[in-house]
Amino acid sequence: MAKRLSSTTTTSRKAMRSRSVQRIGIVGLGLMGRGIASCLLANGFEVVGFDISATQRKGSLKHISHALTELHKRKLLPARRLADWQQQYHVVTSPEGLAECALVIESVAEDLELKRGIYAQLESILPTKAIIASNTSSLPITSLQQGRLHPSRMIGMHWGEPAEIMHYLEIIPGEHTAPSVIRYAEKFGRSCGKEPVVLKQDIRGFLSNRLMYAMMREACHLVEAGIADIADVDRSFRNDIGWWALLAGPFRWMDLTGIPAYAAVMEGLLPELSDTKTVPRLMKQMQKKKAEGISNRKGFYPYTHSSSKRWKKDWVDFTYDMKRLAEKYKAD
């Protein structure tokens, strides 16, 4: 994003103005940006996607086509939405192409200065009533609002992947976010088929990531300490916590299984849990090996081309299964 951006677009603004549906912009068409675009298109929004990378722009078309086709196959998307999505999706090569969006969702790397540079560009293009949301997974929204001309219109919207399937969405107001923007974001999330959670405080990592990273820290500690190997930790987690976590969160689970026992266990166990403040040695080893997981077939487990493809497919199939279960067993 540091390069000077082109001013050309692939779709004329006149053509986009002719449509009556709400127009949403996305900056960053990597995995998350593509998934968010798929979700919005599946729910009837018009989407304008921008990325400085031609490869990412082209890749978004393939990803969206596959995602929407899969939704249609599973009877979760009407045929007309599948037929019309290419008329509703506009790829642009400049942020100027986002000028008529009611909402722009930034979904780029977790780099504070990169994000601030994008917001500065958007502020010069968007009308003051347009809302700017960040799909950051950890940065406090208040830090993103610093130095902005209109910080009250900025909010965090943390999506899950695959965005077109999951019900997950966390909405994080910053210190300066206007109440009307919070209300808009929550209503928008529901219109995308989500069950949005609005945080009451702006905190690094938000809700689900803080829970997840605490678990990952302890998992690394158990392996590093020689208590169990990687496969054993995964198997134990999957066959216990993984068995009930979709039905009930931690507090509901304590209600279901008896609160007093958990208080008693906490007294002796909590002092012995890992509280390290640095990246675990196991993770640093993975970084040194340039391991990315199934994407480059280097991870905690060995992968072949075929096994990595199978895991990708299994993840999508599993997510659809979980979607059906989540809709059968409502939390409220």
pLDDT tens readout for residues 72-107: 999 999 999 999 999 999 999 999 999 999 999 999
Separation in Å, CA 160 to CA 51, 157, 233: 20, 10, 24
Q: What is the pLDDT of residue 267?
A: 97
Q: What is the pLDDT of residue 12?
A: 37
The answer to whether the CB of 96 falls within 8 A of the CB of 125 is yes
Identify the structural domains of the chain with CATH numbers, from first to last.
13-198 (3.40.50.720), 208-328 (1.10.1040.10)
Q: What is the pLDDT of residue 15?
A: 39
Give the model confidence (pLDDT) of 133-149 as tens digits: 999 999 999 999 999 99
Q: What is the pLDDT of residue 21?
A: 61
**Stated pTM of the model:** 0.91
Query: Residue 142: which of 103, 99, 115, 175 has the closest Cα?
Result: 175
Our measurement of the distance from residue 106's CA atom to the centroid of its chain's CA atoms, rounded to an integer in Å, reads 11
The answer to whether the CB of 140 falls within 8 A of the CB of 115 is no
Separation in Å, CA 172 to CA 101, 151, 179, 198: 21, 13, 12, 6
Q: What is the pLDDT of residue 108?
A: 97
Give every residue of the chain whose pLDDT is below 70, as ranges: 1-21, 332
